[in-house]
Amino acid sequence: MSQTTKYTVSSSPHIRANDTTKSIMRDVVIALLPATFASVYFFKLQALLVILVSVLSCVGAEYIWQKALKRKVTIGDLSAVVTGLLLAFNLPPSVPLWIPVVGGIFAIIIAKQFFGGLGQNIVNPALIARAFLLASWPTPMTTWTLDGVTTATPLAALKAGTQAPGLMDVFLGNVGGCIGETSALALLIGGAYLIFKHVIDWRIPVTYIGTTFIITAIAGRAGNPLYELFAGGLMLGAFFMATDYATSPITPLGRIIFGVGCGALTGIIRIFGGYPEGVSYSILIMNLFVPLIERWTAPKIFGKVK
């Protein structure tokens, strides 16, 4: 008697990997750990408090919102934890602790849940929350400290024409700035981990960083274009926020266009804008063009007739 093998046939898309939302978010959290340790090392207890409050606020906001609307609680997928970490990384270590609370509620409820939840948001929740906080409370959002002393960020010093920290200090993280943008080395380690684990595609970070390098090299503002790459939030944005699945293109060519657009806008804002940093706004602007980019770069359907 022959044995019959049964196969399940379903419509596309076909799942070809064991990845889940939780496993992907767990890898992102792991990739953010080097930068987390670096921020606590340089900014001490205050940075740790901001990170904890931000993560708890995001997780709590998602839990309360879903419970109130009698929806399935999804805090176990770790997406709110990632949003909380990224939001904290975009805040100065000296902010009052109510700032990450307000930012976490805005990121989760306004930027994420109002649009339908995970995967439905049109812009990065952590970045739009930072933009909201910066517009609402500019003073605490632009006060930078290092070892308890108020200091300018490397990009602010560069734009003002004053003495900026050395390249090695910027690379290692011994500078003032947002919690997660200080150590380029720590962020590069985390970004390499994500690429190695195939959590993110290399196209967006490579084209983003490369385009910024070319523009700033042509402008010659820093003398050494590497300085522009390691200073500010470029590494954080390129590896951890521009690559957000919900707000970046899915096509290979689209990702290249997206990365080039982010890099071009970052360079233009840094050089010609009144604000010394351009990463957050460049990603948010390009997020809005993602549907159009995907429409331009979508592969043609075989056999389709106009």
195-245 residue pLDDT tens = 999 999 999 999 999 999 999 888 866 567 888 899 888 999 999 999 999
pLDDT value, residue 18: 66
Report whether pLDDT(11) > 60: no
User: CA-CA distances (angstroms) from residue 274 to 15, 68, 277?
Assistant: 47, 42, 9
Residue 101 has pLDDT above 70, yes or no: yes
Structure confidence at residue 128 (pLDDT): 95
Q: Is the CB of residue 293 less than 8 Å from the CB of residue 254?
A: yes
Q: What is the pLDDT of residue 59?
A: 96
Confidence of residue 112 (pLDDT cuts 50, 70, 90): very high
Any idea how long the chain is? Answer: 306
Q: What is the pLDDT of residue 238?
A: 95
Closest CA to 272 of 283, 264, 280, 261: 264
Q: 32-83, pLDDT tens digit by residue?
A: 999 999 999 999 899 999 999 999 999 999 999 999 999 999 899 999 999 9
Rounded mean pLDDT, 248-267:
95
pLDDT tens for each residue of 267-283: 999 888 878 888 999 99
Question: Token match 């700035």: residue?
Answer: 177
Residue 160 has pLDDT above 80, yes or no: no
